[in-house]
Chain A
Amino acid sequence: MAKRTPVLTASGISKSFGPVTIVEDFSLEVFPGEAVALTGRNGAGKSTILRMLIGATRPDAGRIEFEGVRMSETDPAIRRGVATVIDDLDFFPDLSVVEHLDLLARAHGVPDPEAIVDDVLAEVQLVPQSGQLPGTLSSGQRRRLALATAFVRPRRLLVLDEPEQRLDVEGVAWLAARLRAERERGLAIVMASHEPHLVESVATRKVRLVGPSRADIPDAPGAGTAEDAEDAGAGA
């Protein structure tokens, strides 16, 4: 049997802000067709880990690799393979919703970009807003547009930070189904989420983060970031 190679490898990464250690000696491997959900209370370090995994924040220690290449968010090969929906997505104020998606699909060399853009636009229920400029979208619509950017382009790893934010119940159900379908087609997914339905439906593995520690208060709650890994119910 051929040895499986991980899409994403994080080895012993740590991150501190001043005396507060947010992430300590965190390791993770994500394989194709696997979805890892990071859970834990607010401030447990989920977003910090995701930002390190995509190269937006550098870890203080440890190493992160995407398909064997050291993670760097400016590397075009990594940009080509890693789709992200985290809180730092910006929009061109003068391009409409559909033009954003069209531009992204074309930039990635997607053949017949108009067809895929139309389909994804319909899927995220933004067809009526296709001509709107991003500044006029509601927060939920902006979230749907951000999610759509991940689905109109090629990707081998999808990193999502609380993708359920601002979505209505139907939206969360759609997202869960879509991510599950993506995973079953071989996409590797890492996401942070507070939504039990999304985690249960999508994740093949859950990693619960405990929280930051403070160097100056050794007995503070959650001292020492730790993670528990276990198989989730969604199945691979």
Chain B
Amino acid sequence: MSKKSKKLIRQLAAQPDAPAAAPGGPDDVDAAADPYAAFAGRDWGFRFLPDAPAEPVDEKALHLLMKEWRHGRASRTIGQVLGDAYFMIFSLVVLGAMVVNLLLNSNQHAAGCTTDACLAGRTLLPWAVLFAVATLTLAVARIFGPVLASAAEGFWLMDAPISRTRLLGGRLRGVVLGAFLVAGASAALLALLAGAAPLGVTGWALGTGAAASGLMALAAFEQSRERRVVVRGLQIVFGTAAAAAVVWMVLVAAGRAPLLDALPTAAPWLVAGAGGVLAAVFGVAAFRRLNQIRRARLLSGGSLVSGMQGAMFALDLGLARDILVEREAVERGHVRPTKGRGLGLRALIWRDAQRVVRFPKPLLGLVAAALVPYALDALGIALLLPLVASLGLAAALVPFLGSLRVLTRTGGLARSFPFPTRDLRNALMVVPTLLAAAWMGVAFPAVAGVAGGVQRAAPDALAVTFAIGVAGLLGAVRWQTAKQVDFNTPMVATNAGALPPALIFNLFRGLDVCLLVTAPLMFGAPVYVSIGLALVVYFFLGVDMGELQEEAKEQQRIAAAEKAAAKGTAEKIRISRPKR
């Protein structure tokens, strides 16, 4: 604390109207009948605006002024920042070179492959990526706006009589261009992996990028019209098309469907043209209507982004998901209440089952996860089946563990339920366990080798399927129940500054459990090793390590206090009793 602060505190203590804080003194709060009477005669020194009329505002000048303030506060130049981060930049360059090399090698390998699986991948994968990127673009646009403003801008700028078109125009251009770049890069990457020729890679990158930017502009236009139905409808259409493309690809690879080799090679260029026209037309239309987007609509996306930024700063994907789930619930707003059933833990299980009926969309993810083992077998990468299938199942089960997540993240609600924490967790795992069992039933034939891959006898396949299913379930539980990173713990010095050790591991939570349980299967160890590891993981997931540590500290403290008391050094305990 500075000398100035200490001086201020002492001055405050010396003031005659400072609160009488002597221990055991009279309670002056109760003595005053009117708590505001003490302030009645105070001169507050109000300041009012001059009577002259306000001058017109230039939005551009306002922006420049803010920019200047921000630059004025910067303590380091970009050159200095890059100089300090040389190690990271060097690492990124080396890593990037390795990735490019890997991609080129993979491209050459895939281009030389002539099996049905490779041909299907080369023909259909870019289409699947196009449709998936379109779906994702529309989903992101719908959730975030796509045009948005921060809460600070909403409060400090939008209350002023300024043009929102000039304020938000740059942002619209940013999201349309950003969609083009991100979507184009993703498409190029996957086209390379599928073994496409350089011209094809360029075509798919341009086509997918232009389609994404066109759809982003369309979503911005719809945002200005306060409509959601068009974006939602297109999202369903593109999502279905993406799923159909993937299923077709797997069927071709498995030899159960003919290869579609009649698709025109000019298709990506046609898509690029259509996307470009869409972006231009709806971009201009959306720009003209920017002034009409409501402030609440703009700020809602802004607050979501700031929440997500906070979550990503802590590398906490769980928190990021919580924010999205909360947003979805707010959008839905109202449900038809249903009656509960049973008492005690059964009531919790029943509510979990009702949730599945109320929000059935995640069941689509579970169905998709059940197809993953078949796809892996068909594509000839059965060796990775245990890990990849368990990860797919874990991702699909995460939405069904929402109650567990809520009861883990803050103690308030868990404290309301009269059960031990382990019983509470077990009850909230019942419905996800049943869903995992259903997944095992569907995935069992693939693990047995029906769709190719490793051939296993039925009992062995059953045990392996069980191990994979348990790995997926426990991975999802781990993902949902992991504690947030504690920034009060001792930090580790890194090139990116001081970081709590748990921060990096936060990214891998869930994945670690899947890898631990399925690794023995991939290395050919007996299946009971995996099941044994799963049991150990289950035990540790039910234990709150933080609680255990606190408990141990508490016991040490009590023991020390008792020891001190035995020596007669402890202070007497004072208990205030009520006067009667």
Q: A-side interface residues toward B, CB under 8 Å? A: 9, 11-12, 25, 27-29, 31, 34, 39-41, 54, 56, 58, 60-63, 73-74, 76-77, 79-80, 82-84, 86, 88-96, 98-99, 102-104, 106-110, 113-114, 130-136, 149, 153, 196, 204-208, 210-211, 216-217, 219-224, 226-232
Contact = CB atoms under 8 A, between A and B. Distances in A.
- By Cβ-Cβ distance, the 6 closest A-B pairs, closest first, are A226-B23, A106-B347, A80-B418, A89-B412, A88-B412, A93-B329
Contacts of A229: 576, 578-579
Given A28-B576, A109-B343, 7 more contacts: A61-B557, A92-B413, A106-B344, A206-B27, A208-B27, A208-B29, A230-B30
B13 to A, nearest CB: 4
A108 B409 CA distance: 21
B274 to A, nearest CB: 38
Interface in B350-374: 351, 355, 358-359
Interface in B280-339: 325-326, 328-330, 332-339
Nearest to A39: B29
B580 to A, nearest CB: 8
A88 B579 CA distance: 33
B415 A103 contact: no
Given A76-B420, A208-B27, A219 B576 contact: no
B29 to A, nearest CB: 6
A228 B27 contact: yes
Contact of A222 (B19, B29, B332): B19
B230 interface: no
20 contacts: A12-B573, A58-B550, A60-B557, A63-B558, A88-B410, A89-B416, A90-B410, A92-B413, A93-B328, A96-B337, A99-B337, A104-B416, A107-B343, A110-B343, A133-B335, A135-B326, A206-B27, A223-B21, A228-B23, A229-B579
A114 B492 CA distance: 53
A61 B573 CA distance: 11
Interface of B: 1, 6, 9-10, 12-13, 18-19, 21-27, 29-30, 35, 325-326, 328-330, 332-340, 342-345, 347-348, 351, 355, 358-359, 402-403, 406, 409-413, 415-421, 544, 547, 550, 553-554, 557-558, 561, 571, 573-579
B419 A114 contact: no
A224 B406 contact: no
A25 B343 contact: no
A103 B576 contact: no
Contacts of B415: 54, 56, 73, 79, 82, 84
A58 B554 contact: yes
Given A76-B418, A113-B340, A92 B403 contact: yes
A18 to B, nearest CB: 11
A133 to B, nearest CB: 5
A144 B167 CA distance: 40
Interface centre among B24, B335, B358 (most CB of A within 10 A): B335
Contacts of A91: 406, 413
Nearest to A36: B578
A93 B417 CA distance: 17
Contacts of B421: 74
Contacts of A63: 558
A190 B248 CA distance: 65
A117 B523 CA distance: 55
Contacts of B1: 216-217
Nearest to B421: A74
Contacts of B345: 107
A194 B343 CA distance: 38
Contact of A103 (B6, B23, B351, B579): B351
Contacts of A83: 416
B23 A133 contact: no
A108 B348 CA distance: 11
B291 to A, nearest CB: 28
B23 A89 contact: no
Nearest to B348: A107
Contact of B359 (A94, A104, A207, A221): A94
A27 B577 CA distance: 9
A191 B203 CA distance: 68
B387 to A, nearest CB: 31
Nearest to A55: B415
Contacts of A86: 412
A131 B332 CA distance: 11
Contacts of A34: 578
A62 to B, nearest CB: 8
Contacts of B413: 89-92
Contacts of A11: 573, 575
Contact of B575 (A9, A79, A109, A217): A9
Given A99-B337, A104-B416, A217-B6, A25 B576 contact: no
Nearest to B579: A231
A94 B402 contact: yes
Given A99-B351, A149-B416, A196-B35, A94 B21 contact: no
A40 B328 CA distance: 40
Contacts of B550: 58
B27 A27 contact: no
A16 to B, nearest CB: 14
Nearest to A34: B578
Given A90-B413, A106-B342, A95 B420 contact: no
A217 B547 CA distance: 34
Nearest to A222: B21
Given A12-B574, A104-B416, A131 B337 contact: yes
Contacts of A31: 578
